[in-house]
Amino acid sequence: MRLCLLLLTLLFIPIVAADDLNFTIKTDGEFNLSETSDYDLFIKNLNGTAEENIEITISYWISDLSDNVVTGYPKNTSAELKSQKTIFRQWTPKTPGDFKVCGKISYTTTQDDNENNNEYCTQVFVAGELPVEENTTSEPSEDEVVTQVGVLEEDSVSENNTAQTPKSNTNTTSNTKPLTLQKASELTKPQIMFREKSDAIKTALLIFAIASTIVIVSLLIKTYRGSDKPSLR
């Protein structure tokens, strides 16, 4: 009879000494982008208060909904408890969107008779928008386009005057032909007028020279004939 009581006592002691550690995570449910916010790792002994401190190690991490873990995680932290324990943690999110804050009891010095409640995840939302990067390659303004076109026209005129227009710039040459013809006509008009005046002066001088020559020759002939006649005395 005594042996039966001893066996029952030995079987009953581990059951009484066992603990039920429950792990959860407490958050506000919403974080703000680039702002540091708090969340709590909470462990509670559902079987009451243990006679001695229970050592535990918590592994925790943050991931997106596709289970891609955020840089810097997972992390580990250790603590002791008899009935319950709250571990304060902080996170500064760098990306907006939906995330999961997860953790689990990875080690304990007590006999946990229910390991199904040793792991926990909670979904949180990070509010905010990433700053938009400025595009350094901006389109040229209307004034810049006009200036560039003017430079191309100037270059085309000078190239046409020297007969060295590149073959690849066919569009620019065709577009600037009216400008080139207009400048050429403006430059040639004064030259033609000066040429016409020069020819008229030359003709007048030639006529004057011929007339002067005829007059001189006539005077010489008259003088010569007059010297041949005999004088009457």
pLDDT digits (tens, 9 = 90+) for 118-173: 999 999 999 999 887 766 666 666 655 555 555 455 555 455 555 454 444 444 44
Average pLDDT over residues 191-195: 50
pTM (predicted TM-score):
0.53
Interaxial angle between packed helices 142-161 and 177-228, expressed in degrees from 0 to 180 and rounded to the nearest 10: 40
Residue by residue, DSSP assigns 193-229 as HHHHHHHHHHHHHHHHHHHHHHHHHHHHHHHHHHHHS
φ, ψ at 186 (rounded to 5°): -65, -35
Over 80: is that where the pLDDT of 226 sits?
A: no
Residue 172, pLDDT score = 44
- If pLDDT is split at 50, 70 and 90, which confidence band does 230 have? low
Q: What is the mean pLDDT of residues 9-34?
A: 81
The fold adopted by the segment(s) 17-127 is: Immunoglobulin-like (2.60.40)
pLDDT above 80: residue 15:
no
Q: Are 115 and 90 in contact (CB under 8 A)?
A: no
Across 204-230, average pLDDT: 82
- Residue percentage of the chain with pLDDT more than 90: 49
Residue 177 has pLDDT above 50, yes or no: no
Residue 219 has what pLDDT?
87
Which comes out higher in pLDDT, residue 177 or 25? 25
* Predicted confidence (pLDDT) per residue in 106-116, tens digit: 999 999 999 99
The order of strands in the sheet holding 54-64 is: 30-32, 119-127, 97-108, 54-64, 75-81
Selected residue with higher pLDDT from 75 and 186: 75
Give 228's pLDDT tier (boundaries 50, 70, 90): low
Among 76, 81, 123, smallest CA distance to 100 is for 123
State the pLDDT at residue 136. Answer: 61
Domain ranges of the chain: 17-127, 142-227
Q: Give me the pLDDT at residue 137, please.
A: 62
